[in-house]
Amino acid sequence: MMQSMGSEFIQFATDAPLPELAWQFDSNRIEIQSFDSEPIEAPEICSEVDEHLGDWILNTLPSVLPIQLGQALPKTIGFAFPEMPNWGIKSESEKQASDKQPDKSLPALFDPKEPKELAGSPKSGFPKITRMRPPGDLVRLEDRLYYVLQPPLETIVQSAKLTFPFQPFPYQMEGIAFLFPRAAAILADEMGLGKTMQAITTIRMLLLSNELSSVLLVCPKPLVTNWVREFRQWAPEIPLAVIEGDLHKRQWIWNNPQAPVKIANYELLMRDRDLIDSGELQFDLVVLDEAQRIKNRNSTTSEIVRSIPRSRSWALTGTPIENSTEDLVSIFEFLSPGYLRDDMHLKSMGQATRDYVLRRTKDKVLTDMPPKLFRPADLELTGEQRASYKAAEEEGVVQLSEMGESVTIQHVFELVLRLKQICNFDPATGASAKLERLEADMDEIAASGQKAIIFSQWVESLDMIGSKLERFNPLYYHGRIPSNKRDGVIDQFKNDPSRKVILMSYGAGAVGLNLQFCHYVFLFDRWWNPAVEDQAINRAHRLGVKQAVTVTRMMSVDTIEQRIHDVLEEKRELFNSLFAETGTPKNLGLSQKEIFGLFGLNIPRQAKAA
């Protein structure tokens, strides 16, 4: 027996590399001295090694040291999560009424001809799954897992039966997944990618899941009605309250718990500062639209928004940096005070902000969006304009030079503005090379049934343009148009086929408007900062645009306009290279040195010290 059966066992024991085990084979006895500090029960060994051998060991060998395999189960860690409410799911009674009776013949579930639509699957209409990612500053594993383990957004949307006016783009779902778990965030998508929709949908989902109950949205005054309209479109079931009216009315609205979303404008916050500072208000979330409004952290507006008691803070802006990284630091003073410092190295700042800022550009996410076609209109001044320009420049430069050390940047600005105005219209005769070109272009645009937006930085210029374009039935949208009439102007431009052109100032028309039905934009004169020009252009070139947008940038050659243009283009190239590398842009506007340099002047010592 030992020879026939035991040889297998001996072979097994000998071949197996068991340094921790000491085997002893006698004629009819096996001794196992130890086994990895845990005893093994003989029958278990044998059942795995050799059934016959087991019998042999049990029946033949009288003395076996039992060794047991440990029965301890692996150690686990676990978490239970609060169950989210059922949101828009049918009530119990509705559910009972629509309950299907089981089909005894052939269960529908198993019928390949009736495939069930699965939440989150490609069949459900969403081409991809969008998962929430926990923010980097969330430390506890349980908190992180709470977000990691939530269903994909598409599943939540479907199970909650949330409807949208149109299916969001995948990058917009990513934006919602970015905002949803964050207490501090900047959504810095390029203009026209739908920041408003992403913010509203996230707010909607957070309200429906009871993660929020009170939200304050602060935006520039002209955009309040736009936000109201967008909320009605994207979250029609969410009650809104616009903070407006006299003090008593505003006081009531501020404290009205019936409306979970309140909309205020920046200007109004100044008036209601006492209410905000009273300590009676508390918001789960404060959202700043066009957050570049607080880029000056010492401004009263910035101080007030920072003082609003809140749990979460989001900033929406297409231009988180308009002039310098200090703009971004100021926005972070609202999001997370002290997190960024002005003296941080650009690269460190880029790394520090990476988890808080989401920025996408159209060329990256909307590869099939019609392009922007830039058409430079480099124009020679008319004879009258050139004469006026030359005289004004020579006189101005002489004056500046004579001022010596007492010259200030304001003096230089005044000269720049005077020259730029001459580039638009000759002050004596009203002659304008730009207008001649514009009229010719407008004839063509109107003849093809299209409309155009014309931007200028001066209302006076807009008025002069309008008077020459009467045949196109122009509309005006600038700072002198009362805010309660502005929506009507936009509606008219959109719906009245006879209104072929709208004249806008950069200040009033550069942000928040959706004019994607218009495919021609004219920049009659140039703004100081390309970021503002981009915002203006993107009123037309935004989501929903059906065809390419043609942007005509008018510039008078051999003038101050060309000198400014050259400096800004150089800086734009620098910005593009820095932004690609670090995610944070540099100063895009003109520095003091560059402004003085427009006329070949050096910065006076006095201005340097300032």
Could you list the residues that contact another protein (CB under 8 A)?
A: 16, 18, 20, 35-36, 38, 40-41, 43-45, 48-49, 67, 69-71, 73-81, 83-84, 86, 89, 95, 99-100, 102-103, 107-110, 112, 115-121, 129, 131, 134, 141, 144-146, 148-152, 155, 158-159
79 or 413: CB nearest another protein? 79
Q: Cβ closer to another protein: 15 or 402?
A: 15
Residue 555 pairs in a beta bridge with 378
Min CB(368)–another protein separation in Å: 23
Nearest to 346 by CA among 579, 530, 189: 579
- 8 Å CB contact between 99 and 170: no
Are 431 and 385 within 8 A, CB to CB?
A: yes
Query: Closer to another protein at the Cβ: 108 or 398?
Result: 108
| CA–CA gap between residue 99 and residue 501 (Å, rounded) | 57
Query: Considering the complex, what minimum distance in angstroms separates the CB of residue 76 from another protein?
Result: 5
Rounded to a whole number of angstroms, the minimum distance from the CB of residue 77 to another protein is 6
Half-sphere exposure for 270 (CA within 13 Å, toward CB)? 8
Q: Which residues contact 431 (CB under 8 A, 6 or more apart)?
A: 382, 383, 384, 385, 425
Question: Residues 458, 424: contact at Cβ < 8 Å?
Answer: yes
Give the nearer residue to another protein in terms of CB position, either 25 or 146. Answer: 146
Contacts for 608 with CB less than 8 Å, ≥ 6 apart? none
Q: What beta strand segments (E) does 481-565 contain?
A: 501-505, 520-523, 549-556
Q: By C-beta, is 160 or 329 nearer to another protein?
A: 160
With respect to another protein, which residue has the nearer C-beta, 117 or 470?
A: 117
Tokens of 491: 């509606």
State in angstroms the smallest separation of the CB of 181 from another protein. 13
Please, which residue, 83 or 343, has the CB nearer to another protein? 83
Q: In the complex with another protein, which residue's Cβ is closer, 134 or 466?
A: 134
Backbone φ and ψ of 592, nearest 5°: -60, -45
Rounded to a whole number of angstroms, the minimum distance from the CB of residue 179 to another protein is 19
In the complex, what is the shortest distance from the CB of residue 101 to another protein, in angstroms, rounded to a whole number? 9
Q: How far is CA 212 from the centre of its chain?
A: 20
CA dist 172 and 402 (Å) reads: 57
Separation between Cα atoms, residue 501 and residue 520, nearest integer Å = 10
The distance of closest approach from Cβ of residue 135 to another protein in the complex, given in angstroms and rounded to an integer, is 13
Q: Which tokens go with 12?
A: 């097994």
Query: Closer CB to another protein, residue 81 or residue 413?
Result: 81
Q: Annotate 357-426 with DSSP letters as a single string.
A: EE---HHHH-TTSPPEEEEEEEEPPPHHHHHHHHHHHHHHHHHHHHHGGG--HHHHHHHHHHHHHHHH--
Burial (0-12, 13-18, 19+ Cβ within 10 Å), 428:
exposed
Edge-to-edge strand ranges of the sheet holding 261-265: 240-242, 261-265, 215-219, 283-289, 310-316, 184-187, 357-358
Minimum Å gap between C-beta 53 and another protein is 13
Q: 248: buried, middle or exposed (CB in 10 Å: 19+, 13-18, 0-12)?
A: exposed
Q: Which helix (H) or strand (E) holds 289?
A: strand 283-289
Q: Give the torsion sign (CA, 90, 91, 93, 96).
A: positive
Minimum CB–partner distance for residue 22 and another protein (Å): 14
Nearer to another protein, 9 or 520 (CB): 9
CA 275, 276, 279, 281 torsion-angle sign? positive
Write down the least CB distance from residue 167 to another protein, Å.
18
Question: What is the nearest approach in angstroms of another protein to the Cβ of residue 581?
Answer: 25
Q: Which is nearer to another protein, 56 or 524 (CB)?
A: 56
Distance (Å, rounded) from C-alpha 117 to C-alpha 489? Answer: 45
Nearer to another protein, 138 or 328 (CB): 138
- Among residues 71 and 448, whose Cβ is nearest to another protein? 71
Using the minimum distance from each CB to another protein, give the nearer residue, 8 or 594: 8
On whether the CB atoms of residues 451 and 445 are closer than 8 A, the answer is yes
Task: Report, in Å, the least distance between residue 355 CB and another protein.
Answer: 15
Cβ 87 to another protein shortest distance, Å: 8
* Angle subtended at Cα 225 by Cα 220 and Cα 231, rounded to the nearest 5 degrees: 105
Q: How far is the CB of 39 from another protein (least distance, A)?
A: 10
- 412 in Cβ contact with 400 (< 8 Å): yes
Q: What is the pairing mode between strands 310-316 and 283-289?
A: parallel
| CB of 313 closer than 8 Å to CB of 548 | no
**Closest separation in Å from C-beta 148 to another protein:** 5
What is the C-alpha to C-alpha distance for residues 288 and 299, in angstroms, rounded to an integer? 15
Q: CB of residue 410 vs another protein: minimum separation in angstroms?
A: 57
